[in-house]
Structure 1
Amino acid sequence: MAYNLLIIVSGGVKILLFKKSLFVILLLLLLLVAAIAPVCYANSAEPPSIVIIVPGVKKDLEISIGSGDIFSKASKTVKAFESYYVFYNRDLKADGDYTLKITTEGTTYEIEMNDKPLKNYNNIYTLNLKNKTLTRGKSTLRSILLVSFRLILTLFIEAGVFTLFKYKEKRSWIAFLIINLISQGVLNIWLNTASPLGSYLILLLIFGEIFVFIFEIFAFLLTVKESKAAITASYVIVANLFSLVAGGYIITYLPI
């Protein structure tokens, strides 16, 4: 009986030590996030009032907004295979309805903007140059493709880390796929709701990854029993750090 009692006490100590280790790991991760988070100053950069997404990159494309004879030219930003034409509150000088003036390939045409109010921040539109139409919001197909791309890229990265930690059982890989489809799918859909030129996208990603980490560490510990709990927890930490780095790169250089 004394031997059995010793085993029970020993097991309890191990569980307690593991819980303490898990708490320390979570604390260290939060401190790491705080350390790498960029310094932000309140109102340091005015968010755009209007963002017009244009598929492709056309060097000669110019977009202006105005009413009557008063027009302001958009500033332009390019990310990979997309262009963004941006207007700020200071560009919206007219009191009446606004008109977009589009000039490309030697031709100029106008599109009436009937949406109000335009002086709020982050009004997002998509311009179809072929059909000469302006649609409010992001294209559904664009959102599906970009979310799918980011999700697949993350799965490849985290699958590589999962392999390095020598997980081989079919059950472990099924759990890996389900957990990541849920956590990374929700994260990327959430990021898709933000403006493609949002000033705080990196911060959104960091906070999103914290919630992903918390969900994944408990989900993996509950479902993956192929290795010790400490090894599984270590995998989640390493995989999410890699995901954070990859996500930061995507936000900086690729469309969101």
Structure 2
Amino acid sequence: MFKSKRITFTIIVSMLFMMAVCTSISFGNAAEPPSILIIVPNAPNDLHITIGSNDEYNEASKRDKIIETYYTFYSRDLRNIHDYNLRISTENNSFEIALEESLNTYNNVFILNLENQSLTKGKSTSRSIKLVSFRIILTLMIEGLVFLLFGFRQKRSWIIFLIINLITQGGLNLWLNGFSPLASYIIFSLIFAELIIFAVEIIAFSTLVKEHSGYRKVSFVLVANLLSLIAGGYMITILPI
């Protein structure tokens, strides 16, 4: 019992140290965020978005994700622009939208609907619900499989597993949803959060789950969270935030 507690304490202290390191790295390496980010669901390959007025227009940088594409303008793109008119064009269509709302210096997020040629400020609630739900379900599947492979069979253990993970993963994904989709430090933020979750889950599983030894429970938390961290990091690179 004493040995198990000592191992748990050592791991938690190590995680807290890594959290501090990750935090300093994330802030030290954060790149300039975009001034204007336009999210376009199912954007055609020939879509171009420019901003400007009269004959002076700057084209947005483009980044593809699964199911949507990001078009970004940085402060350098807006330096000599006074009227924010967006020109959206494809091979077969072209239209303009004037940005009349007051803008922040950074992280102005809009969603462009090509069908009705409209621009909506902020990430939509339905989009956030779908993405958060997908990430939570995928994480539960991964960690549930690990839980099963570690030999946990009791109904009480599975109920506790679901409650703990819905709280921790739900909180994590709601927190990540608040980030800008192009935040350069989001992977470090994910690591930071997963380390906190790791420490919390060690305490929760060790205290609440009565099945198996403390060493097996700590090992499960380590393996499950490592796999979910890898999966989460990969999802961030290909899926929208």
CA deviation digits over 1:28-48, x for unaligned, max 9?
445677899996684673221
Find the aligned partners of 2:39 and 2:183 in 1 and give their Cα distance: 13
What is the count of residue pairs matched by the alignment?
241
Q: What's the CA shift for 1:221? A: 1.6
Code of the aligned partner of 2:189: L
Conserved 8 A contact 2:8-2:202: no
Find the aligned partners of 1:160 and 1:44 in 2 and give their Cα distance: 35
Q: What's the CA shift for 1:94? A: 4.2
Find the aligned partners of 1:241 and 1:44 in 2 and give their Cα distance: 24
Find the aligned partners of 2:70 and 2:31 in 1 and give their Cα distance: 17
CA radius of gyration, larger in: 1
2:90 counterpart (99, 104, 127): 104
1:149 counterpart (117, 128, 134): 134
- What are structure 2's unaligned runs of at least 5 residues? none
Code of the aligned partner of 2:3: L
Code of the aligned partner of 1:153: L
Higher alpha-carbon deviation: 108-117 or 18-27: 18-27
Higher alpha-carbon deviation: 173-182 or 38-47: 38-47
Find the aligned partners of 1:189 and 1:231 in 2 and give their Cα distance: 29
Q: 1:64 — aligned with what?
A: 50
Find the aligned partners of 2:30 and 2:156 in 1 and give their Cα distance: 49
Conserved 8 A contact 1:67-1:94: no
2:188 counterpart (200, 203, 206): 203
Q: What's the CA shift for 1:116? A: 2.0
TM score, norm. by length of structure 2: 0.92
Code of the aligned partner of 2:119: L
Find the aligned partners of 1:194 and 1:41 in 2 and give their Cα distance: 14
Q: 2:118 — aligned with what?
A: 133
Corresponding position: 1:162 with 2:147: yes
Conserved 8 A contact 1:75-1:85: yes
Map residues 1-256 of structure 1 onto 2, 5 A cutoff.
Answer: 14=1, 16-29=2-15, 42=28, 45-94=31-80, 96-118=82-104, 120-256=105-241
CA-based RMSD of the aligned residues comes to 2.2
Find the aligned partners of 2:202 and 2:98 in 1 and give their Cα distance: 51
Point out which structure has higher relative CO (alpha carbons under 8 A, 6+ apart): 2
TM score, norm. by length of structure 1: 0.87
Conserved 8 A contact 2:52-2:86: yes
CA deviation digits over 1:200-234, x for unaligned, max 9?
01011011111211221111122110111221111
